Homo-oligomer: A and B are copies of this chain.
Amino acid sequence: MANSGVGVIVNQINRVAIVGGTHGNEFTGAYLIQKFAQFPDLVARPSFETITLLANPNAFAVGRRYVEKDLNRCFLKQDLQDPTLSSYEELQAKSIQDTLASNRDKQADFILDLHSSTANMGLTIILVNSHPLNLKLAAYLSQINPLVRVYRCSFKSIEENPFVNSLCELGFAIEVGPIAQGLLKAELFQKTEELISTVLDYIEGFNQGKIPSFKETLILYDHLSVVGYPKGQNGKIFGMIHPELQDKDYQALNPGDPIFLAFDGKTIIYEGTSTVWPIFINEAAYYEKGIAMCFTQRQQINI
């Protein structure tokens, strides 16, 4: 896939932003931000400044994904520049851009955006470009922790990326799961915190010219397509994720494998012609869009 971020050479990362609560009902990130605000030493490193940001405080206060509009779809460049857009999240996106990306003296060089999913995503790194440093860091993280997976949903240009991570070439979102919306699970909270700490340590090493050594290969799951639930003529879904597919994120789905179970008890199979690797299986936030999962293509790349 084409990419805008093909690798501006970076020598030093001066400012790292850790963003959480971009979706107000994804508590793991939101509460980690609150923890880091209370104990800033946890995210401080000698060679760069770390700032933390609770991205959607109003949505977090009411425990909902968003108040008016999904904040993580508000960062299209044209939307950020459109003065007529004034919903709460659209204004919040402009404010976050102002904080993290508008001023060279205080702009973030690296953004980590913390999300959680009801799907069995483990500790997923979501790359939105293929900057060599992002790839190297992703490879390092996935090699030291088998729970880490790397999903790439590249955009043709940075202008087409509506995510928080469009504000900066370096960095990525972390999508942890499975966890229900609106609650904390201590085990996943701790694993996410450890992953963040490892990222910060890596950046510290990078700044000091001491990147940890690792294999130069990376298993990438490249975005292929979005898969909808089966729907009737009335527009209502008539089936759910098949029990055999539930929680099988990142596992091969072959032609003929069960994919949905219709409410009438009939199994619906995957009728594609090639193997795919589904992720975001049964993500609650996607029901409103009728999305059941995403298909990816697994590949190993050299970096």
Nearest-CB distance from A175 to chain B (Å)? 15
Q: With an 8 A cutoff between CB atoms, is A183 at the interface?
A: yes
10 contacts between A and B (CB under 8 A): A31-B240, A34-B263, A38-B263, A39-B264, A180-B181, A183-B284, A185-B243, A185-B282, A186-B240, A186-B246
Q: With an 8 A cutoff between CB atoms, is A241 at the interface?
A: yes
Within 8 A of B (CB), among A154-199: 178-187, 189
Query: In the complex, A287→B39 CA distance in Å?
Result: 23
B180 touches A118 (CB 8 A): yes
Nearest-CB distance from A237 to chain B (Å)? 8
A240 touches B184 (CB 8 A): yes
Q: With an 8 A cutoff between CB atoms, is A15 at the interface?
A: no
A243 partner, pick from B63, B187, B243, B263, beta carbons under 8 A: B187
Within 8 A of B (CB), among A23-70: 27, 31, 34-35, 38-39, 63-64
Main secondary structure of the interface of A (DSSP, over half): loop
* Residues of chain A at the chain B interface (Cβ within 8 Å): 27, 31, 34-35, 38-39, 63-64, 118, 178-187, 189, 236, 240-243, 246, 261, 263-264, 282-285, 287-288
Query: In the complex, A283→B182 CA distance in Å?
Result: 9
Query: In the complex, A240→B28 CA distance in Å?
Result: 11
With A64-B64, A182-B284 in contact, do A263 and B35 touch (Cβ < 8 Å)?
Answer: yes
Nearest-CB distance from A48 to chain B (Å)? 24
Query: In the complex, A185→B283 CA distance in Å?
Result: 11
A241 partner, pick from B38, B39, B186, B241, beta carbons under 8 A: B186
Query: In the complex, A31→B285 CA distance in Å?
Result: 17
Query: In the complex, A34→B240 CA distance in Å?
Result: 13
B187 touches A282 (CB 8 A): no
Nearest-CB distance from A243 to chain B (Å)? 5
List of B residues within 8 angstroms of A179 by Cβ: 180
B186 touches A284 (CB 8 A): no
Nearest-CB distance from A118 to chain B (Å)? 4
List of B residues within 8 angstroms of A282 by Cβ: 183-185
Query: In the complex, A181→B27 CA distance in Å?
Result: 14
List of B residues within 8 angstroms of A27 by Cβ: 287
List of B residues within 8 angstroms of A184 by Cβ: 240-241, 282
Closest to A244 in B: B186
A263 touches B31 (CB 8 A): yes
With A63-B287, A63-B288, A64-B64 in contact, do A118 and B183 touch (Cβ < 8 Å)?
Answer: yes
A186 touches B261 (CB 8 A): yes
Nearest-CB distance from A161 to chain B (Å)? 26
Query: In the complex, A30→B64 CA distance in Å?
Result: 20
List of B residues within 8 angstroms of A178 by Cβ: 180
A236 partner, pick from B34, B185, B240, B285, beta carbons under 8 A: B34
Query: In the complex, A256→B181 CA distance in Å?
Result: 30
